[in-house]
């Protein structure tokens, strides 16, 4: 799984690092108040950044334009190198031997101070560095920038702007400031009127591996994952284990993992956490590729810290990918804060809620520090929560649905619904697959329960067809506001 970077506004960030399916998107903050890249983003707009950075110094705007072309074309982060003592028009008078720029360029030891820093520079694998040519060389402030960070193991690609001079020896001289393990790609000079197409033709010729942008809450149907606001990626479909016995859990999880599924949902009240943990531990699939969700029940809220440790012990896991509060109850805020502490302690990676709706969330969220990464509610064609889902998603929280087939006693009716059956026949799939695909296209993660390996494989096979807008509306019209459980 490629490394991705995330910048979160809000009060709510969980710190951890890992790789794999549950890859943590490490926080990045460009600490420069004068640059457009700041940490002031709304939660709903939080995006995973690339593994590339475009750092540039520009006084007249020419280099800035080239830097923006590169950033726009690659989705790389953009950072402006700004002098702590800004350059004035008089400073830039190259014909004056006493001007600041002339003196700096004539002094090989000159190192103008830079305002601000790039925090988490270690997260970038590729760094473009742009500058204008001054007296045939890069401005000395570029030397300051290069000497301020450890670029070992990174790839640096310089580019410059000038009216006539090429990149010349500026490239070589800058290279000498970096360690031997820094990969240095020969730079390119651009004229002031260089077009975006010209710049990107050069960038594309470099054949760089630059990660794609991901947005929190947006389903990636290629990787079959969604980026959570905690910075971890979670599969968008998996297996619910409600009512499965220990033996059924083992068989079901084995079938899920064999078919490529990686998301497992359990809970203290299901009584099968130990079986789930055992199946995960004994699987040939690496632990970091499996995403395990469990829940605290209200009767555990009074001693939530102890309950968290007990869950880890029962499951025999070093960490839990996601822990939820099962439903509102006495001391639920205190229990949630215990989960927040467990995140800080590295016991849990993401936290959330189950069976919280608009009113409950409005009251609950101001009392906690970490925004839930997930809210899990009953969702199926007869109970659609069409007002609740958008509200939750607007907060940067991912929605997950339980009872996707209506729950016990209602499944047969829902799967035989004439509208759904007709749509299934049109796509040569099952009604179950139509319902699950409908959820995914609404941005709802699905965790259907089953002990039948054939059904488990079928429930994961959701990407060979797509529902039309008309078909989505036909299913939306089935809503009865008919809740099938008391939560």
Spell out the per-residue pLDDT of the chain, length 487, in tens.
Answer: 222 333 332 323 333 333 334 444 433 333 333 333 333 333 333 344 468 999 999 998 999 999 999 999 988 899 999 999 999 999 999 889 999 999 999 999 999 999 999 988 888 899 999 999 998 899 999 999 999 999 999 999 999 998 777 788 888 899 999 988 999 999 999 999 999 999 999 999 998 887 665 678 999 999 999 999 998 999 999 999 998 999 999 999 999 999 999 999 999 999 999 999 999 999 999 999 999 999 999 999 999 999 999 999 999 999 999 999 999 999 999 999 999 999 999 999 999 999 999 999 999 999 999 999 999 999 999 999 999 999 999 999 999 999 999 988 899 999 999 999 999 999 999 999 999 999 999 999 999 999 999 999 999 999 999 999 999 999 999 999 999 888 7
| Number of C-beta neighbours around residue 77 at 10 A | 22
Residue 31 pLDDT: 33
As a whole number of angstroms, the distance between CA 224 and CA 63 comes to 39
Cα 218 to Cα 6, 100, 288, 395, 407, distances in angstroms:
14, 49, 22, 13, 27
Could you give the residue ranges of the DSSP H alpha helices within 151-260?
Answer: 168-175, 196-205, 246-258
3-state SS assignment for residue 204: helix
Residue 19 pLDDT: 33
Straight-line distance from the first to the last Cα atom of the chain, in angstroms, rounded to the nearest whole number = 36
As a whole number of angstroms, the distance between CA 238 and CA 140 comes to 55
From the centroid of its chain, how far is CA 50?
Answer: 11
From the list 427, 441, 321, the residue with the least C-alpha distance to 379 is: 441
Residue 9 pLDDT: 29
Residue 180 pLDDT: 87
| Number of C-beta neighbours around residue 124 at 10 A | 24
From the list 152, 149, 146, 186, the residue with the least C-alpha distance to 169 is: 186
Which tokens sit at 105? Answer: 């360029």
Residue 366's φ and ψ, nearest 5 degrees, are: -65, -15
Could you give the residue ranges of the DSSP H alpha helices within 19-93?
Answer: 62-74
From the list 270, 349, 485, the residue with the least C-alpha distance to 17 is: 349
At CA 86, angle to CA 82 and CA 89, rounded to 5?
125
Residue 213 pLDDT: 57
| Number of C-beta neighbours around residue 281 at 10 A | 12
As a whole number of angstroms, the distance between CA 319 and CA 347 comes to 5
As a whole number of angstroms, the distance between CA 74 and CA 388 comes to 35
Only one residue has tokens 């190192």, namely: 111
**Exposure letters 3-15 (e unless 16+ CB within 10 A, then b):** bbbbbbbbebbbe
| Number of C-beta neighbours around residue 91 at 10 A | 18
Residue 162 pLDDT: 86
Residue 78's φ and ψ, nearest 5 degrees, are: -120, 130
Sign of the Cα torsion 239, 244, 249, 254 reads negative
Active-site annotation, residues: 270
Contact indicator for 366, 337 with CB cutoff of 8 Å: no
| Number of C-beta neighbours around residue 227 at 10 A | 26
Which tokens sit at 245? Answer: 């016995």
């Amino acid at each position: 799984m490629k490394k991705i970077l995330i910048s979160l506004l809000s009060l709510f960030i969980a710190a951890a690092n890992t790789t794999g399916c549950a890859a943590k998107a490490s926080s990045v903050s460009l600490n420069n108040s004068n640059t457009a890249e700041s940490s002031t983003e709304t939660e709903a707009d939080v995006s995973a950044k690339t593994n590339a950075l475009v750092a540039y110094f520009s006084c007249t705007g020419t280099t800035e334009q080239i830097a923006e072309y590169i950033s726009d074309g690659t989705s790389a982060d953009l950072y402006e190198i700004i002098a702590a003592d800004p350059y004035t028009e008089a400073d830039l008078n190259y014909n004056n031997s006493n001007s600041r720029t002339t003196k700096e360029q004539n002094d090989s030891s000159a190192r103008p101070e830079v305002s601000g820093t790039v925090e988490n520079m270690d997260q970038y694998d590729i760094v473009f560095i742009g500058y204008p040519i001054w007296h045939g060389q890069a401005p000395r402030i570029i030397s300051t920038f290069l000497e301020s960070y450890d670029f070992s193991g990174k790839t640096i690609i310089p580019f410059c702007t000038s009216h006539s001079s090429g990149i010349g020896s500026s490239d070589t001289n800058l290279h000498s400031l970096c360690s031997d393990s820094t990969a240095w790609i020969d730079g390119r000079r651009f004229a002031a009127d260089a077009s975006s197409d010209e710049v990107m033709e050069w960038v594309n010729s470099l054949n760089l591996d630059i990660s794609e942008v991901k947005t929190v809450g947006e389903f990636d149907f290629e990787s079959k994952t969604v980026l959570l606001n905690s910075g971890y990626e979670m599969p968008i479909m998996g297996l619910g284990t409600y009512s499965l016995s220990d033996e059924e859990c083992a068989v079901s999880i084995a079938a899920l993992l064999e078919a490529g599924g990686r998301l497992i949902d359990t809970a203290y009240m299901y009584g099968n956490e130990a079986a789930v943990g055992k199946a995960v531990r004994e699987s040939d699939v690496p632990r970091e590729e499996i995403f395990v969700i469990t829940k605290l029940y209200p009767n555990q809220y009074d001693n939530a810290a102890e309950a968290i440790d007990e869950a880890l012990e029962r499951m025999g896991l070093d960490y839990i990918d996601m822990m939820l509060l099962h439903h509102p109850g006495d001391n639920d805020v205190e229990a949630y804060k215990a989960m927040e502490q467990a995140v800080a302690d590295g016991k849990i990676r993401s936290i959330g809620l189950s069976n919280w709706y608009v009113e409950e969330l409005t009251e609950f969220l101001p009392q906690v520090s970490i925004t839930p990464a997930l809210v899990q509610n009953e969702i199926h064609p007869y109970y659609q929560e069409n007002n609740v889902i958008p509200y939750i998603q607007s907060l940067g929280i991912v929605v997950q649905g339980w009872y996707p087939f209506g729950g016990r006693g209602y499944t047969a009716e829902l799967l035989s619904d004439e509208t759904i059956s007709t749509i299934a026949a049109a796509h040569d799939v099952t009604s179950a697959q139509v319902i699950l695909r409908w959820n995914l296209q609404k941005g709802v993660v699905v965790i259907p329960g089953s002990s039948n390996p054939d059904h488990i494989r079928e429930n994961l096979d959701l990407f060979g067809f797509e529902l039309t807008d008309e078909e989505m509306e036909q299913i939306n019209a089935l809503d009865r506001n008919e809740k099938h459980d008391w939560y």
